[in-house]
Structure 1
Amino acid sequence: FNRKYLKEQVVKVDLLTARYGDTVVSRKIMEAKNHPDTKALADELQAELFLGWLASE
């Protein structure tokens, strides 16, 4: 999707938080960080979430 619409980049964590809310997504990210198979994705999502919070202030 992002390759096709380069000017309209979609951040994965934004899609998740819009659907489930910051609290649920944050909790799920913390759970995912405890599993080796999902840790890398959780780290990426956590960074996106933090950057989004900082940008909104």
Structure 2
Amino acid sequence: MLFIVAALLVFGVLVGAAAHLPLPVTLIAASVIGGWLLAFAVRERIVQGRRS
């Protein structure tokens, strides 16, 4: 439950910050974060494949 509260707090801060940024900056930041998450997921998938 504490994790959900912390996640919602962080989400609220990020959405509040994004509301004050210009749209192109927000889209670039979202792309960078999405790419980082995609790279992390691919790396984890490769590691899981080696373990089994």
Q: Which of the pair has the greater relative contact order for Cα pairs under 8 Å at 6+ separation?
A: 1
Q: TM-score, normalised by structure 1?
A: 0.39
Q: TM-score, normalised by structure 2?
A: 0.42
